[in-house]
Chain A
Amino acid sequence: MSENREHGGKADSCKGAAAAGDRLVKIGRREPAGAGEGDATRRDFLSLLGFSVAAASMPACRAPEQRAIPLPVASEDMVAGIANYYATTCGGCASACSLLVKQRDGRPIKIDGNAASALFGGATCATGQAAVLSLYDGERLRGPAWQGKPTTWKEIDDRVQQALTAARAGTGAVVLLSSTITSPSLRAVIDRWSQSVPRFRHVTYDPVSASALRAATAQASGRAAVPHYAFDRARVIVGLEADFLGTWLSPVEFARQYARGRTAAGAARSLHVQFEAGVSVTGSNADRRVLVPPSELGAVAAALLARVAEQAHVAGVPRVADPIDVDTLDDVAAQLWAHRGESLVVSGHNDIAVQLAVHALNHLLGNLGHTVDLARPSLQRQGDDAAVAELVDQMERGEVHTLILHGVNPVYDHADGGAFARGLKKVALSVSTGDRIDETGAAVNAICPDHHFLESWGDAEPVEGTLSLSQPTIAPLFETRSAAESLLRWLGDDTDHYAYLRSFWREHMFPRQQATLDFDTFWDKSLEQGIVELGAGAGDPAPSPAPAPDPGGDWRAAIRQIGDQQRAARAARHPDRYELALFESVALRDGRHANNPWLQELPDPMTRITWGNVAAIAPSLADQLGVDTGDVVVIASGAGRLQLPVFVQPGQQARTISVALGHGRTRVGKAGDRVGANAFPLARLVRGARSYSAAEVTMTATGRHEKLAASQSHLSMEGRELVLETTLADLARDEAEAREPLPDLWTERPQGAHSWGMAIDLDACTGCSACVIACQAENNVPVVGKDQVQRQRIMHWIRIDRYYGGPDDNPRSLHQPMMCQHCGHAPCETVCPVLATTTSSEGLNQQVYNRCIGTRYCANNCPYKVRRFNWYNYTENSKFDFNMTDPVGRMVLNPDVVVRSRGVMEKCSLCVQRIQNAKNDVVTTGKPLADGAIVTACQQACPTQAIVFGDLADPNSWVSQLQNDRRSYELLGYLNTKPRTQYLARVRNPNPELG
């Protein structure tokens, strides 16, 4: 059933109200330009007041007529108001996390992790959470297009088939350029192309690639693959520019694993050392963060390798000059050696020599088969940078006849997008499966839009042996067609995607298991659960044969090469030249979701900046150059120039500038166009792999200043105890002090059957920001745009405050999720003149929108600054042209939560709609409420279980136990606000052996 409100009709009988409406418009128009929705003068208010009294004394007005349209045929699976959940696979990036999608009345409205997955659990990342909004992007293509004009699928199919016939007869190549394909069924379609189309080639292109890691693994072990890492088995983790908790390879999985080692009690706790130049989410969580410019990173790997090899009595290791102080290197190497077989070295540096050194390190440390699994590798990155470069050359030489692009946008994100666009002109037929006429789409002949992953069938194999199925959660919104179906159709096979997928699974997957004898049962079960394990004990590394004494690959040559590069870099060093480090940001990743306003407005976990990227530089460099945050600079390397505002980043390596990729799109849509600058052209191919760093970069100030849209202006805690820290040693020694109750004037309140509360473990929180988007999706939080963020009017109900402590050159970083603390003695309540915010019998601080008159006293009196005011009517004001003003974009709204209007205050409700839902279930099913039956949206998304919600009235509940932990404390407890949310202090592990 769908409900639809019709305005007009009967409303005509209310002439008085209509006239008052006209008057309001006039008042609005009298305002000076730019004021937006008018705030009327006092006289206007009085005249309106008189008018409305008159209107009220007229015959009572009827509310607008509302209509209800039932489904023509009743379905057991679709009852209005009841959510269905479907298991599917995330297509937000190549990590291919398993999902459980919530669907209400036929619309998917919320994405969550599939708890049955051994790899990903019930967790998701910010990108995955936001992917549901990308489905409702009103700027997606409505159907296929030929030369930029809408056309029919029939015409497109005819043209492609003609071109293929011509290609068969000619001499040109037919190439499929795709992003990493984890789908075994789609790979099988591509195999069919290889067999039936002469001169066909499949090239995989990842804009942020792990090509060097694959190449090094191929040299060392004979198979081009990304190893599957197990961070939970590692007691010592060394990261070399690998943001594995934020963006690298499979961040959700890694964050889960990492948290397991992190929260282990006492001496079992893992130790993490990170070598990096910019401040990444991963680096901010490390026990020890060591600053290394990109040009010296390889030397760190080589220096560690030399030390470990010495211990392992492996001779003939070339020496490189120590890039950092000897003690640190000695200590880290000693820690690694002491935990051989239980350590892990990872690097995201896309340089084959460095990756060979890292592989050799893991080999000599005996980590292969323990924390590094090569037998069942990860398939989440398959890009081959050298092959892409070769393709571009081939296109420029006019040797490619047909080019099919799937899931890629090289004109935007290739190092030389211009060359790619020129090459496309020399291709007889170019076809893209993109969902819009993007940068590449504007240069191709045909666009055959693929379904969004939530509309499509499919499968994925993120790690060998672990499969995940995809099923549609909504009928396609537009005239799109799945890419697999298009590829089959062009080969002359008219099978639809579902039939193909099913027959593929019958043929290839069903025989690989013994548990079920009947295919239909196997298929139904697999589809329902979403996950199929076809290897023994997935998640555990496969036992590998006894390692050879010497690591594979020519790692000695690699070290010599690293040494040569280091010497060359040192010789070229110049006081006015800097190094550049490019990285994927947590929000926008490689830029494919740039038109998603949720992600554009997600503050970067470290800079806390929204809507655009910045050039992060060290405070010392800023002082030296006389620039400050917001000053616009031009960064130039041999490959190109970038114009960006500076951000003075504590903890940034002194000579390195860090810039986020994924910004500066030009043809993605109204939210993402021309936001920030595109840094991809600066990532050039170096020694067969794309280098995301550059040396000899100049930086010049333009004299212009740009106001950044920062969601937090403070860098430090300003001397207040907001994030408490303890050390592992103190935790083992100290007994908790008994807390003295503070005197107070409040009368005792009666307590209901439940007492809701929350515990947030600051030790587990990595700052990944998945919770922020999860909350936004669950609670219909509006996007307000750059201008409003600059005015501190961001609407997020949960934010992750970031603080730096200690010296500016390499401080400790702290993340603190912050939302309404649901105070027992709430300062907001006492100042509300209309009782719009009160405490419920179950301890919730309730905000009643329909009572609120917008005095904003509560926000002023809130010590945690978590209340958000609706300055505008974000759903109807065309100035806020994001998803909520768009009929397609509105489909994402959660019908269980009110969309707030202008002039009311809002804030975290502890997902009261979920609490109510669970309590309703108790009544309708008769089963008592179990601990853990209610999870808040933030808790559900969190990969590290840092957030726990529950009933404090139950002393055995998880949240009660956590709040009784010795680390638990009340934020600003001295104000005696008695918050129901408590934080667990961050634990530091300043390993005494680590200098």
Chain B
Amino acid sequence: MRSSTILLGFAVLTIGASTAVSRIMHMGMQQGYSPAQPIAFSHELHAGKNRIDCLYCHYGARKSRHAGIPSSSICMNCHSMLEKQTVAIERFKEAVQLQRPLVSWVKVHNLPDFVYFNHSRHVMSGVACQRCHGRVEEMEQIEQVMPLTMGWCLECHREHAGVPTSGLERAAKRFTSVPVPASGLDCASCHY
């Protein structure tokens, strides 16, 4: 009786501890984050149905670290010629005329401050936007699909460098051969 209580207690503790560790490991992760935006902009309509290229609006992704959120003036490139006017579009028009920032968008994909991710480096190397952002062209409201953790980044970087993605395989390989140098796996590629 007493020993079974101890056993039960031990089991509860173990499960509790492992759950806690797993929770800690997932702290700050925002997978599945899909906040409502001040203006209900639909990527499904623009990128999906109307097939506007991602880089038309997020032109920064081609040359800068930031993909950038398009200015109201970019919206007006098309909307000034479209007949259909909504309240939101009227507000965009006004913002451009008054040269005043209109919307404070909620950022969906956030990386910690100590990570330097560069959009242009990836876009110009041929990485598709969807690889990290999911099928944006099917999203009415943007959602973070991928975990955006370091392990997740490294999976791809390892694949690219020809390094085994499984930890066990990597450990085994360490005994048999010299690791392949890959600048994409250096800490300082992203942390500085």
Contact = CB atoms under 8 A, between A and B. Distances in A.
Interface of A: 1, 3-4, 53, 56-57, 60-63, 65-74, 79-82, 748, 750-754, 838, 840-842, 844, 846, 848-851, 896-899, 909, 912-913, 916, 919-920, 923-924
Given A56-B27, A920-B118, 7 more contacts: A53-B24, A56-B24, A66-B107, A67-B107, A70-B72, A70-B101, A849-B191
A57 B112 contact: no
Ranked 3 nearest A-B pairs via Cβ: A841-B181, A81-B64, A840-B186
16 contacts: A57-B16, A63-B28, A67-B104, A72-B100, A79-B59, A80-B68, A748-B178, A841-B185, A841-B186, A842-B183, A846-B191, A850-B112, A899-B113, A913-B192, A920-B121, A924-B120
B72 A846 contact: no
Interface string B120-132: 1100110000000
Contacts of B186: 752, 840-842, 844, 846
Interface string B22-48: 011011111001010000000000000
Contacts of B60: 79-82
Interface in B120-156: 120-121, 124-125
A65 B64 contact: no
A442 to B, nearest CB: 40
Interface in B75-131: 95-96, 98-107, 110, 112-114, 116, 118, 120-121, 124-125
A4 B103 CA distance: 13
B19 interface: yes
Contacts of B104: 4, 67-69
A754 B183 CA distance: 9
Given A3-B107, A751-B181, A74 B71 contact: yes
A70 B74 CA distance: 11
A924 B124 contact: yes
Among B27, B70, B102, residue most surrounded by chain A Cβ atoms (within 10 Å) = B27
Contacts of B113: 898-899
B62 A62 contact: no
A72 B72 contact: yes
Nearest to B115: A850
Interface of B: 16, 19-20, 23-24, 26-30, 33, 35, 59-60, 62-66, 68-74, 95-96, 98-107, 110, 112-114, 116, 118, 120-121, 124-125, 178-183, 185-189, 191-192
B192 A909 contact: yes
A850 B106 CA distance: 25
A70 B72 CA distance: 8
Contacts of A919: 121, 183
A851 B104 CA distance: 33
Contacts of A750: 178-181
Contact of B182 (A68, A82, A841, A923): A841
Contacts of B16: 57
Contacts of A844: 186, 188
A920 B188 contact: no
Contacts of A846: 186-188, 191-192
B106 A916 contact: no
Contacts of A842: 183, 186
A72 B99 contact: yes
Given A81-B64, A920-B118, A63 B30 contact: yes
B19 A57 contact: yes
A70 B29 contact: no
Contacts of A71: 71, 101
A256 to B, nearest CB: 31
Given A840-B186, A842-B183, A898-B113, A65 B192 contact: no
A848 B107 contact: no
A868 to B, nearest CB: 15
B143 to A, nearest CB: 14
B71 A72 contact: yes
Given A74-B74, A751-B181, A840 B188 contact: yes
Given A750-B181, A913-B192, A60 B29 contact: yes
A3 B113 CA distance: 12
A192 B168 CA distance: 82
Contacts of B183: 752-754, 840-842, 919
Contacts of A73: 71-73, 96, 99
A851 B96 CA distance: 45
A751 B186 CA distance: 12
Contacts of A61: 27-28
B73 A924 contact: no
Nearest to A105: B66
A89 B118 CA distance: 32
Contacts of B106: 65-68
A438 B116 CA distance: 42
B191 A850 contact: yes
Given A73-B96, A79-B63, A81-B65, A56 B107 contact: no
B105 A752 contact: no
Among B20, B24, B59, B188, residue most surrounded by chain A Cβ atoms (within 10 Å) = B188
Among B29, B74, B110, residue most surrounded by chain A Cβ atoms (within 10 Å) = B110
B63 A82 contact: yes
Nearest to B76: A73
Contacts of A897: 192
A916 B192 contact: yes
A82 B64 contact: yes
B118 to A, nearest CB: 5
Contacts of B73: 72-74
Contacts of B28: 61, 63
A909 B69 contact: no
A910 to B, nearest CB: 9
B81 to A, nearest CB: 17
A753 B183 CA distance: 8
Contacts of B68: 1, 70, 79-81
A80 B107 CA distance: 15
Given A69-B104, A846-B191, A849-B191, A923 B124 contact: yes
B118 A916 contact: yes
B95 A72 contact: yes
Contacts of A913: 116, 192
Given A57-B19, A74-B73, A69 B26 contact: no
A203 B121 CA distance: 57
Among A1, A70, A81, A912, residue most surrounded by chain B Cβ atoms (within 10 Å) = A70
Nearest to A844: B188
Nearest to A2: B101
A963 B114 CA distance: 34
Nearest to B98: A72
Given A61-B27, A840-B187, A70 B71 contact: yes
B130 to A, nearest CB: 20
B8 to A, nearest CB: 19
A920 B120 contact: yes
Contact of A68 (B27, B33, B69, B124): B69
A57 B24 CA distance: 8
B107 to A, nearest CB: 4
B116 A916 contact: yes
Nearest to A52: B24
Contacts of A65: 35, 106-107
A67 B35 CA distance: 11
B100 A53 contact: no
A56 to B, nearest CB: 4
Given A846-B187, A850-B191, A920-B121, A70 B70 contact: yes
A707 B66 CA distance: 48
Contacts of B192: 846, 897-898, 909, 912-913, 916
A385 to B, nearest CB: 51
Given A79-B63, A79-B68, A81-B65, A69 B182 contact: no
A465 to B, nearest CB: 40
Nearest to A896: B116
A80 B114 CA distance: 18
A478 to B, nearest CB: 21
A63 B68 CA distance: 21
